[in-house]
Amino acid sequence: MRALSAAETAATTHPWAIHAEGLQVRAGRQLAVNGLDLALTTGVHGLLGPNGAGKTTLMRSLATVLTPSGGRLTLLGRPVDGRSDLRPVRRALGYLPQHFGFYPRFSVREFVGYMAWLKEMPKGAIPAAVQRSIDRVGLTTKADARLKTLSGGMLRRAGIAQAIVNDPQILLLDEPTVGLDPEQRLDFRELLRDLGTDSCVLVSTHLVEDVAAACSDVVVVNEGRLVWQGTPEAMTAQGDPGHAGDSPAERGYTTVLRQHRTEATR
Ligand SMILES: Nc1ncnc2c1ncn2[C@@H]1O[C@H](COP(=O)(O)OP(=O)(O)OP(=O)(O)O)[C@@H](O)[C@H]1O
């Protein structure tokens, strides 16, 4: 008997915010995502995987920046196949890329407002939404500072503010905590938990501790495929004290990855 997928065993009829089946996405010449199955709904999902696993490529395809070259991808029930109109999906998306371009002379407020405009938010709603997102990332006192004057951590927070300005139904954050100091990371975890109450949030990171502390679900990818999915507690419980990692969650993650590699070579 074949194993049932998460989509088939779900207790709810609520459509998946993100649903990928056998997804393939090219990065340059190679298939960096190659046969990935994923079904995600409301909550905070941590995306873990070693360097080169395909996390950024996956994020870019979910952000509709890259078009899948095989398999199926639906976002909020709409197919992403290079043919359908993606504007309704893009209005409901928030994306913090790993590296984002910006106009250095823009203030934080101008930058976030500009992104709100690009997302086709109603004009009258933009100023209040911009202020709220700037406040949520703790940049209130820097709202009118130019981007070029911000520290790396502050710039990252401005990037998060633009990603959340439209209250996205799908929020994709690629390495959001890079450059944040420990206090800011704690604040950010709280913000994540808050955002995940009514959005589908996918956070790519190398910081297993952030995932353990702030996520309701962990997705581990390797070589372009999903290799494990479960709660942070279930991942931690996999931990073998003999494996690398400073914390129980890191040992759990390393064990999951090594088990997968062992099975793959059998
Ligand atoms: N523009 C590109 N041209 C060619 N190869 C690419 C390109 N972008 C990514 N790759 C390759 O695709 C694979 C997946 O890369 P990707 O950046 O998605 O991985 P990642 O999991 O995000 O890695 P990291 O944790 O190091 O950021 C890697 O082997 C990478 O070298």
Question: Any idea what the CATH number is for the domain that residue 247 is in?
Answer: 3.40.50.300
- Contact between 21 and 37 under an 8 Å Cβ cutoff? The reply is yes
Residues 145 and 187 in one domain: no
Strand order in the sheet with 225-230: 93-96, 170-174, 200-204, 43-48, 217-222, 225-230
Query: Closest ligand 1 atom, CA of 174?
Result: 22
Tell the residue nearest (CA) to atom 24 of ligand 1: 51
Note whether 129 and 49 are same-domain residues. Answer: no
Whether 6 is in a domain gets the answer: no
149 lines ligand 1 (CB under 6 A): no
How many domains, the chain?
A: 2
Same-domain check for residues 148 and 233: no
- Which of 149, 167, 185 is the last residue in one of the domains? 167
The answer to whether residue 7 sits within a structural domain is no
Q: Residue 180: its pLDDT value, please? A: 87
State in Å: Cα 97 to ligand 1 middle: 13
Residue with CA nearest ligand 1 atom 6: 27
**Cα of 58 from ligand 1 centre, angstroms:** 10
Share of the chain above pLDDT 70, in %: 95
pLDDT of residue 131: 98
Q: Are residues 221 and 247 in the same domain?
A: yes
DSSP 8-state secondary structure symbol assigned to residue 206: S
pLDDT digits (tens, 9 = 90+) for 51-106: 999 999 999 999 999 999 999 999 999 999 888 889 999 999 999 998 888 889 99
Residue 10 CA to ligand 1 center (angstroms) comes to 32
Q: Is residue 27 part of a domain?
A: yes
Taking the centre of ligand 1 as the mean of its atom positions, its distance from the CA of residue 109, in whole angstroms, is 32
| Pocket residue to mutate for ligand 1, from 23, 24, 29, 55, most atoms within 8 A of Cβ | 55
The reply to whether 223 falls in a domain is yes
Q: Is residue 33 part of a domain?
A: yes
**224 Cβ closer than 6 Å to some ligand 1 atom:** no
Query: Hey, CA dihedral for 63, 20, 39, 245, is it positive or negative?
Result: negative
Report whether 171 contacts 202 (CB < 8 A). yes
Q: Could you tell me the distance, in angstroms and rounded to a whole number, from the CA of residue 31 to the centre of ligand 1?
A: 10
For 46-74, b/e burial (b = at least 16 CB within 10 A) is: bbbbeeebbbbbbbbbbbbebebeebebb
Q: Which of the listed residues 141, 167, 193 is the one where a domain comes to its end? A: 167
Q: Could you list the residue range(s) of the whole structural domain that residue 151 is in?
A: 99-167
d(CA 136, CA 41): 23
CA–centroid distance, residue 66 to ligand 1 (Å): 13
Residues 259 and 177 in one domain: yes
List the beta bridge partners of residue 79: 74
Task: Clarify whether residues 261 and 136 are in a common domain.
Answer: no
Q: What is the ipTM of this complex?
A: 0.97
Average pLDDT over residues 244-257: 88
What residues pair up with 48 in beta bridges, in sequence order? 220
Is residue 45 located within the same domain as residue 146?
no
